[in-house]
Structure 1
Amino acid sequence: MRCAVLAACLLLASPLTPAEEVIHVAYSERPPYLITQPDGTPGGLTGAPATAAFHNAGIPVQWHKVPSNRQLMMVKDHASPSCAIGWFNTPQRRQYGKFTKAIYRDRTWVVLSNAAFAARNIGSLAELARQHDARVLVKDNYSYGNLDAFMTHWQPVKAISTASTLKMLQSVNTGMVDLMFVSEDEGHYIMQHHAAQHPNLRLLAFKDMPRGMERHIMCGTNVPDEVIARLNKAITFK
């Protein structure tokens, strides 16, 4: 009995701080941004700095490899403190999430198209805006940065997908859609590692493409500000 009372007193004297709570961190396999390492942690352009930030900040985490829409549900759900890796900081997402400092910045956007569409020899967004019959594939609940406003003005035939990027490119390769926007990093990775299986893919660089956006760790509003502050202190990207 005395041991039980002593244990209870110790718990009251040394409560867990919010920063010591396990944070559930979600990501999906998306090379070169996110690649699961042999030890089960995410690596890659955004995965590695995020993993390092949680580790160096001394914040315990539980990794969850889930689709992007599930990541958003975890961040919005207040049942447990959750974060997701590599998301753009947009006004809409700030309504339900908190963001760390940037962990990476994309270089620019490129167009991944099939050979038939590439044969139109379009060299700029201004020319693309006149192609109203173009069929563009976009990821559900994704933001494409400054290209969001461009697509609203352009109003192409739009197809929405919940599949992974690697599955989406199959639709481009087979001609089900004409094109999709990807980052330069992702585009070069796809052409280097998957072009042999998808020979109709073409990578188009337009002269007036906007610069890529910064990527962040996005957390739910129930994640304490102390956790965000500790992550920001641990993030080394500038």
Structure 2
Amino acid sequence: MRAVLALATALAPLLALRAGPAFGEPADAGEPPLRLYYYERPPFHYTDDQGRVTGLFADTTEQILHRAGLRFEWVRMPANRILLALRKEPEVACSPAWYATPQRQADFWFSKPILRDKPLIALLRADFPLEPGTTARDFFQSPKVRLLLKQNFSQGAYMNALIARMPPAQVQQVSLEVPAMVQMLKRNRADAIITTAEEAGIFVRQAGYPMSEFLVVQFPDVPAEEYRYILCKRSMSAQVRQRIDEAIPALP
């Protein structure tokens, strides 16, 4: 009996080293849920008529965190406040499906890639003169193009590099939501905005216009090589980081 008690005493510190559930197990119900910041962006992440957060990016993130055995809660927040909150607030939190720019990589932890994007497109007024087959490189080098961008948003590595070479007078950055940017486009206060093919029609309808008044441009030189990641505070524990990464299937 003394030998058994001695062995148990010796093993107790080792058994206590296991923190959190094994991969795929449910998390400890006593642990606070991981906060997931999101903004309304149909069809990728948005609140449906039943009050549930859904969409391609949201559903993919939920599947990953369920596989990782992590409890979480969605917290809606304006897009431009999410990165600020992740920088300033002390609590560990994440946000799904962001591009990994050099500045963001310096400030946050990024998971393995969870999705691969289709090439971004440009939305122009239907009367904007544009030659068929125009490349993004030629488009952004044109002195006639006035580009409208949403603050703190990345346009992907390829377009970011082209936009960085545009004269500052041709680029206007705003904190408005995209439907309001579409209205600026229609009123000839800009010539182009960058968005996704999936969202273009949604933004135009929300702005109150028919799609026939706009032109969707798919540039032949923009590659389909942009990946999206779960972005989290750097203070997230190494164990939770590992659990998230292990739950992400390899992308082709």
TM range (shorter): 0.7 to 0.9
- Per-residue CA deviations over 1:179-236 (Å, capped at 9, x if unaligned) read 0111233336556x55972442210112222325111110001111222221222233
Superposition RMSD on alpha carbons, in Å? Answer: 2.7
Residue 104 of structure 2: aligned partner: 93
Residue 27 of structure 1: aligned partner: 38
Q: Aligned to 1:205, which of 218, 222, 237?
A: 218
Q: 1:195 to 1:169 in 2, by over 3 A?
A: closer
Q: Secondary structure at the match of 1:231?
A: helix
CA distance, structure 1, for counterparts of residue 50 and residue 64 of structure 2: 16
- Per-residue CA deviations over 1:101-145 (Å, capped at 9, x if unaligned) read 22211111211111232x333622243134213111111111112
Q: Alignment length, in residue pairs?
A: 224
Question: Which is richer in strand?
Answer: 1
1:61 equivalent to 2:69? Answer no
Q: Aligned to 1:228, which of 212, 229, 241?
A: 241
Q: 1:185 to 1:124 in 2, by over 3 A?
A: same
TM-score, structure 2 length as denominator? 0.78
Q: Secondary structure at the match of 1:129?
A: helix
Q: Secondary structure at the match of 1:101?
A: coil
Which one has more relative contact order, counting CA pairs under 8 Å at least 6 apart?
1
Residue 6 of structure 1: aligned partner: none
CA distance, structure 2, for counterparts of residue 200 and residue 150 of structure 1: 26
Residue 55 of structure 2: aligned partner: 44
Q: 1:186 to 1:212 in 2, by over 3 A?
A: farther
Which of structure 1's runs of 4+ aligned residues deviate more than 6 A? Answer: 13-16
How far the C-alpha of 1:153 sits from its partner, in A, is: 1.7
Kindly provide the amino acid, as one letter, of the partner of residue 50 in structure 1: T
Q: Please, which runs of 5 or more residues in structure 2 have no aligned partner? A: 1-15, 22-26
Kindly provide the amino acid, as one letter, of the partner of residue 53 in structure 2: P
Q: Aligned to 1:107, which of 90, 97, 118?
A: 118
Residue 120 of structure 1: aligned partner: 130
Q: 1:222 to 1:206 in 2, by over 3 A?
A: same
Q: Please, which runs of 5 or more residues in structure 1 have no aligned partner? A: 1-12
